[in-house]
Amino acid sequence: MNFVKDHTLFLFPFPVLSRRSVTILAALLLLGAMAALTGCESDDCVNCVNLPPPVVPTGVHSISGDGSVLVQWYDISYHPYDGQYNANVERYFIYWRFYQDGDENDPGRTFEYLGEVAWNENFDPNSGLHWFEDTGAVNGERYEYAVAAVNADGLESALSYELVTDAPLPHSAAPVVLYDRDGGFPERSMFDFSLLEDGNNQGGTGFQADIQVFFQNGVPYVETVRSGVSIQDFGAFISGQGELVFEGVSWAPAEGYSSTGVLELITGHIYVLELNEGSDGLHYAKFGVLSVGSEVVEIIWAYQTISGLPELSVPSDGDRFTQPGPSIVSY
């Protein structure tokens, strides 16, 4: 279960926190609790024991979605590691902020409460990862996330140390079919990433496509159509079940683009594009080939709306857990 707060609203009792203030607040709460119990009798010391703040969550990372961001982190398990309730970690708080390049150099930057996940919710035992989906994220905005652990006394850990930034981006809600340029549907052989991002159909008149599909001796190819478009074959990304792993390419490279702009289309391969959109600047996109038929190619795609940002991470349906690592972080 996710408890979500809208990005534009701020609710008591969760204040705006910085990484430094979270640590200080936790320490003050602990000292206050200890001071209140200084009069305990030595034979009643069991009532004098207070829980320390939890350890800091680790392995925090994110996956871009279309109008959403998936935040993941490793489960924290204290002795006796039996998968049962432990007062040392009762839940996790997720925090967010808008991000700009260079913000990571400001240790006093502040975060706002976004939501929470209970110790036994949103958890995959195979990967050891918890997750929280920020469904209030907007395509074209950049965000930073952090996670804190909370114990049964309400004490929070410091915010997670990883720099986790993300920018959700539009991608195909369903596969797109492209036809042979020299076949029966030449107007459906072309593709314009920025138009598709705006919800328009490819093909027709009045637009200049980025790429076009054609067949030669039964073999499908893609070619760039206009100047300012560069393309490269990033290779095969296929799961053990033979399915395309679209999130396998999460970042567009600065180099390695084809000098001819013509590449063979291969099932299971992902292709990355650099698109000069004129006054809108440089954008990046990718598409993966799902299948190849007779004079037809089926693809899925993603387009980064933020100018100059090469991030292209989009999760495949049903595949949330992508980061390798230990199943459980134990203490």
pLDDT value of residue 6:
52
Among the listed ranges 79-83, 130-134, 300-304, which one has the minimum average pLDDT value?
79-83
On the question of pLDDT at 114 being above 90, the answer is yes
Residue 110 is predicted with a pLDDT of 96
Name the band, by pLDDT with cuts 50, 70 and 90, for residue 171. Answer: confident
pLDDT of 328 over the 70 cut: no
H-helix or E-strand spanning residue 179: strand 176-179
DSSP string, 98-164: E--TTGGG-TT-EEEEEEEEETTSSEETTTTEEEEEETT--TT--EEEEEEEE-TT-PBPPPP-S-E
| Check whether domain 58-166 has CATH 2.60.40.10, yes or no | yes
Average pLDDT of every residue of the chain: 83
State pLDDT tens for residues 195-252: 875 545 555 555 679 999 999 999 999 999 999 999 999 999 999 999 999 988 989 9
pTM above 0.85, yes or no: no
The percent of the chain in helix, strand and coil, each rounded to the nearest 5, is: 15, 35, 50
pLDDT interval class at 313 (50, 70, 90): confident
- Other C-beta atoms within 10 Å of 164: how many? 20
pLDDT per residue over 7-53, tens digit each? 543 333 445 556 545 544 445 544 454 444 444 444 444 444 689 99
Q: Is the pLDDT of residue 261 over 50?
A: yes
Task: Check pLDDT > 90 for residue 327.
Answer: no
* Contacts within 8 Å (CB) and 24+ apart, 107-111: 107/18, 107/19, 107/20, 108/18, 108/19, 108/20, 109/18, 109/19, 109/144, 110/16, 110/17, 110/18, 110/21, 111/16, 111/17, 111/18, 111/19, 111/144, 111/146, 111/159
Confidence of residue 173 (pLDDT cuts 50, 70, 90): confident
Q: What percent of the chain is predicted at pLDDT more than 70?
A: 76
For the chain, domain boundaries? 58-166, 176-304
Q: For residue 170, what pLDDT band results from cuts at 50, 70 and 90? A: confident
pLDDT score, position 79? 87
pLDDT, residue 37, reads 44
Beta-bridged to residue 306, according to DSSP, are: none
Amino acid 70: pLDDT: 94
